[in-house]
Structure 1
């Protein structure tokens, strides 16, 4: 769904007000500061102790000011989640009943699609033309997940006469979800819906950069009939609210999407507390492998650019290592250069805009510093390589870099911006060696018309999802039922499909002696 050109999104933004208070035990509660947000506030002001501003990265205006939930708030939310779980008002009802509630939740998301898309666009700069289909896809994933719940089965095991042996899956209990800012609503739903679907209670801590659509999700879940305490939403800073959740001894499972650095810290917190189960989707440096049997190089070039420019490159599976067979390297590089140079950022609230800003000043400075370091080390800036001063704000021009060794930090580390490096390879084995020469293992993309070649490589290349002849998606939901699991420094734990549901449960065996 593209952004309707008849809607004045700027006017919608000026008229929009939000409730920024956390949701605990089914209610909005006050936390230290006034809980009303003015969506069209003034320029960024000072942030006091225990609060933070959400800032529009396109124009620098304050979207809302929020309280950072502290220890008392985290304890109250976890207690509410635990109480609801133990009472069984959600955990012990049938899968069919949970499915019906989550289907109503999908209905609510679809009814509020424009509001939710606007919130993500204002907070992290996603163009409204992308945010609307993002919300629509998220609602479809909620629906497909809900429809899967009452199709799951458990195992009856072979056993001796007069005995019955079963393998069951039971919910963890209280699940904490810490979610990122790049796809605020989409990623949050990818965690809370499978967790809820399997009978857990959830405490959601969205990124402080983009919290508002997740807070609205809490309202919509209550409107759909989710019992109080089954979903609690706590805005807050990662170093405070996130840390408290990760260290909490009454959180049974923690699901996180974000940087590898933070993922390592969360593993330590799990060990320091109650050895809670962990699901981590962390960084990536995904390769795109281009082989020599392709026909339409112009179309391939378009897709390669979209693979690292989409959402301003703020995509965990962005194909930022472009590895090209040497025979095609020169002609493809020429096409890529022209395409990358033609990309221009604009106002995310204009329906014609397809490239928005980076999410904040910190990210803008990081991307610029990585490109500058590559330039100093002798890289060729094929296209871009600077801030987009015409668009202003946190906009950075899409950038393609060549002539760096594969071991260079630019080719090895996740940058999370619209930047990519390109290298030639000689032969299939070298292509595979370069693709797997990374501490990450999140995803990979293969460009070839040779089905046998592709099928032979998909099991050898490191990555959860492997996409052939298409731009990689940020999650498994684009194909109903598909499951992915990262490798290496990209984390661990399944997402999507049946395996993603099972990740929010633990195994239990039961043995009966009959008669």
Structure 2
């Protein structure tokens, strides 16, 4: 299908061009088509922040009953679902995700998350601990105010909806900045939020340079909280901006180098291998939780690697708008070049490439899946987040060795263990230094459970009740009787 590209910003409930008519060029990784998108400067960002601040202070949203905010979010989820075809097309067009995956996975998760927070709205309870000598103590949650949210290009709808509805259901106003590579889907979603009854100014979406807009959001004293998903380097920079301004909390979901550990007693080696292939190639490997390190017992290494190679070789690489495509292009040319450079560095390091190539393809921004064996656990190939379909294979003999390899990383986001031994599964889950551990599966989750990491993978949780922690203040009220 075709749909109009929303190329203006969404500010105060209407489309807004950038001051001076400033634009930036967006290039679709699917076909190289270009479009001009509004590019915010300081004036535009200030306008969006002040509009959000006015909306918050007016209590046009924060003053609603929680049930009313929840009903608006549910209406928003309904509209997102009604426009699912259009939004899936925008995601495929802007970042190259196969449209079937955008429809079945990305949009499903985004819609379910918005709906989940809408349904949660009137079920949140404050606390009333027992005070001494009969006093009454109340512990209440209050919205923080204006929330800045910066989201990445790899899951432009899903990762935005991991944050925005939680901030909204708490009563905040939001200024959201999508990645410059993926402006269209979130802009359209913001328009649908307005149609659902979310008042003007409560959800602002500004587009433009990540460096310029990110710095202004990070440094602005009227931004009470900042939530970011993206690269570790940018996350560190945002922390420095907060420290130099109003010391706002900055919540980070950053990179990963997730281990996928397979023991000989895995309940189903075929499934373990197929999921290992999926974990490194889904979304063309552009996933913070990608299982980019396969840690497999030496007794089954050759068998598992052969199965993984077979699975990856069956990927259908092509036009993301073709329903048969399972592996689309990388999101933009510079990133494709970086991934190919990392494959070359892996070859130069002495690791053995058993699938794939360091040569680009002639048909677009595609990279064939690559598998390396005999990888040094301390090498760049094993330590650096490549963010492409590149797998490093390590072998081990004992649980202790598997844990040492798994934890030999500055990241701590996802991980997986394949074993039929329940005690081993518990030992490994406790021993792995990561925010999420999947047992005999990969990348499973639900709106009811938190998503987040530790170490250089960030801190704080998206999704679940815990996702609200970022967007609320605790207030204690003590009443002597």
TM-score interval for Structure 1 and Structure 2 normalised by the shorter chain? over 0.9
Shift of 1:368: 0.6
> Is 2:453 aligned against 1:489?
no
Matching of residue 79 in structure 1 with residue 65 in structure 2: no
Contact map agreement 2:163 2:463 (CA 8 A) in 1: no
Q: TM-score, normalised to structure 1's length?
A: 0.91
Name the residue aligned to 1:208.
Answer: 180
Paired position in structure 1 for 2:17: 30
CA distance in 2, matches of 1:78, 1:294: 52
Are the counterparts in 1 of residues 267 and 418 from structure 2 also a CA contact under 8 Å? no
1:449 CA displacement: 1.6
Three-state SS of the structure 2 residue aligned to 1:235 is coil
SS at match of 1:54: strand
Structure 2 stretches lacking a partner, 5+ long: none
**1:46 counterpart residue number:** none
Cα 1:297/1:161, change in 2 over 3 Å: closer
Q: Distance in 1 between matches of 2:455 and 2:266?
A: 31
Answer yes or no: is the 8 Å Cα contact 1:68–1:241 preserved in 2. Answer: no
Q: Distance in 1 between matches of 2:409 and 2:339?
A: 20
Residue 357 of structure 1 is aligned with which of 323, 329, 333? 329
Q: Deviations over 1:418-439 (max 9, x none)?
A: 1110010111011011101100
Residue 463 of structure 1 pairs with residue 434 of structure 2: yes
Deviation at 1:183, TM superposition (A): 0.5
Q: Which residue of 2 aligns with 1:226?
A: 198
Q: Deviations over 1:163-202 (max 9, x none)?
A: 2111111111100000000010111111110000101100
1:388–1:471 Cα change, 3 Å: farther
Q: CA deviation at 1:484?
A: 3.0
Matched, 1:404 2:342: no
Q: Aligned pair 1:235/2:207, yes or no?
A: yes
Contact 1:169 1:502 in 2 (8 A): no
**Equivalent in the alignment of 1:53:** 25
Match of 1:142 in 2: 114
The 8 Å contact of residues 102 and 224 in structure 1, kept in 2 or not, is answered as: yes
Q: In structure 2, what is the Cα distance between the partners aligned to 1:387 and 1:314?
A: 19
Shift of 1:244: 1.2
Name the count of aligned residue pairs: 480
2:303 counterpart of 1:336: no
User: How far did residue 335 of structure 1 move?
Assistant: 2.0
Q: After TM superposition, which residue ranges in structure 1, 4 or more long, deviate above 4 angstroms?
A: none
- In structure 1, how many angstroms separate the alpha carbons of the residues matched to 2:349 and 2:450? 40
Contact 1:95/1:149, CA 8 A, preserved across alignment: yes
> Which one of 312, 319, 322 corresponds to residue 347 of structure 1?
319
| SS at 2:392 equivalent | strand
The corresponding residue for 1:279 is 251
2:471 is the alignment partner of 1:504: yes
**Aligned equivalent of 2:240, options 268, 276, 291:** 268
Moved more, 286-295 or 331-340: 331-340
| 1:160-179 equivalences in 2 (<5 Å) | 160-161=132-133, 163-179=135-151
Task: State the distance in 2 between where 1:83 and 1:296 align.
Answer: 57
Question: In 1, Cα distance between the equivalents of 2:255 and 2:249?
Answer: 19
RMSD: 1.4
Out of 160-169 and 75-84, give the one that drifted further. 160-169
Partners of 2:388 and 2:32 lie apart in 1 by 19
DSSP 3-state at the match of 2:176: strand
2:96 counterpart of 1:131: no
- SS state at 1:385 partner: coil
Q: Using the TM superposition, give the Cα deviation of residue 408 of structure 1 relative to its aligned residue in structure 2, in angstroms.
A: 0.3
In structure 2, what is the Cα distance between the partners aligned to 1:32 and 1:160?
58
C-alpha distance in structure 2 between counterparts of 1:323 and 1:472, whole Å: 17
CA distance in 1, matches of 2:349, 2:17: 52
Task: Give the Cα–Cα distance (whole angstroms) in 2 for the partners of residues 334 and 486 of structure 1.
Answer: 31
8 Å CA contact 1:483–1:497 kept in 2: the answer is yes
Alpha-carbon contact 2:341-2:358 (below 8 Å) kept: no
Partner SS for 2:139: strand
The alpha carbon displacement at 1:456 in A equals 2.1
Deviates more, 1:265-274 or 1:505-514: 505-514
Scaled by the length of structure 2, what TM-score is found? 0.97
The equivalent residue for 1:305 is 277
Q: Work out the CA distance in 1 between the residues paired with 2:447 and 2:332.
A: 33
Deviation of 1:245 (Å)? 1.1
Q: Is 2:296 aligned against 1:324?
A: yes
The DSSP-based 3-state class of the residue aligned with 1:184 is coil
**Alpha-carbon distance between aligned partners in 2 of 1:387 and 1:58, rounded to the nearest angstrom:** 19
Inter-CA distance 266–84: structure 2 relative to 1 (3 Å threshold): same
